[in-house]
Amino acid sequence: MEYFIHLAILFSIYATLGVSLNLIVGYTGLLSVTHAAFYGLGAYATAILLTTTGIGFFLSVIIGILVAMVASFLIGIVLSKFDNDYYALASLGFNTIIFALFLNWQSLTRGPLGIPGISRPELFGFDFSSNLSFLILSLIILVLIFYISKFIVNSSFGRVLKAIRGDEKAIQVFGYNTAYYKLTIFVISAGMAAVAGSLFASYITFVDPSSFTVFESIFILAIIILGGLSNMRGVILGALFLILLPEALRFVGFPPDIAAQMRQVIYGLILVLLMLYRPQGLLGEYKL
């Protein structure tokens, strides 16, 4: 039972990341590969504050959101100078820079040693120390992020984001400052990613830089591409698929000496086939 609860917690964290990234990539059409950086900023903010100060988890989440939003604002200003492929490359570069800070700012992050001993949340005397209670908390946060994102998408602001994806120059003709809209949604999405990072840090009770590499950003991007761009339910399905598939492959029964390699081969093959025959994702409306 604990094993399935563990998977469900990981699913809720990555689904939160996927929903937030879909606001940038799916609805606005900006190919960002820096989401793991904001995920990491939230995780490190919570880890540092819970291990060095007396503040609680939920206050650390708010501080983590603010840190990620400030960082994303500064990064977003620079990214606004780029378009298309150059935007993606620049965002990848910023992920690498923030990862390097996690790795080398040892006086604050302890570098490759990481930060252990992170406490679980507590609210009004209720302790979320059990995995079941933590799962409930993470699912509540996922639902909250999901409906906030849905509200944004269905608002007039969201309609402008979709128009930017369709034809940015056309929407500019009508007097819309598209740079403002792109920067705003980038900052909002980063704040949501920081919440997932805080959950991750408190659940694992340990963080180190290896969890926030460029490959992690690519994995989050794969969730929304597989689930479907511009489709919130598709993102949930994509997160569920990518979290459960590697675990399901453990029970296939490969010979022990090649089991790990074969699981990776089949995992990759399934993803390739899905992209070949369903390039818009499982429930998506657009192709990347």
Q: Give 262-278 pLDDT, tens digit per residue.
A: 767 777 787 777 777 77
Q: How far apart are CA 109 and CA 86, in angstroms?
A: 30
Cα pseudo-dihedral 250, 252, 254, 258, rounded to 10: -40
Nearest Cα to Cα of residue 163 among 28, 1, 60, 19? 28
Higher pLDDT, 143 or 277: 143
Q: Give 50-78 pLDDT, tens digit per residue.
A: 999 878 899 999 999 999 999 999 999 99
Tokens encoding 4 = 């399935």
pLDDT at 259: 65
Nearest Cα to Cα of residue 193 among 40, 33, 77? 40
Tokens encoding 59 = 């206050």
The Cα-based distances of 148 to 17, 42, 130, 176, 180 in angstroms read 13, 19, 27, 23, 20
pLDDT at 285: 65
Q: With 0-12 CB in 10 A as exposed, 13-18 as middle and 19+ as buried, what is 73? A: middle
Q: With 0-12 CB in 10 A as exposed, 13-18 as middle and 19+ as buried, what is 43? A: buried
Domain boundaries, the chain: 2-213
For the cut 80, the answer to whether the pLDDT of residue 239 exceeds it is: yes
pLDDT at 198: 96
For the cut 90, the answer to whether the pLDDT of residue 246 exceeds it is: no
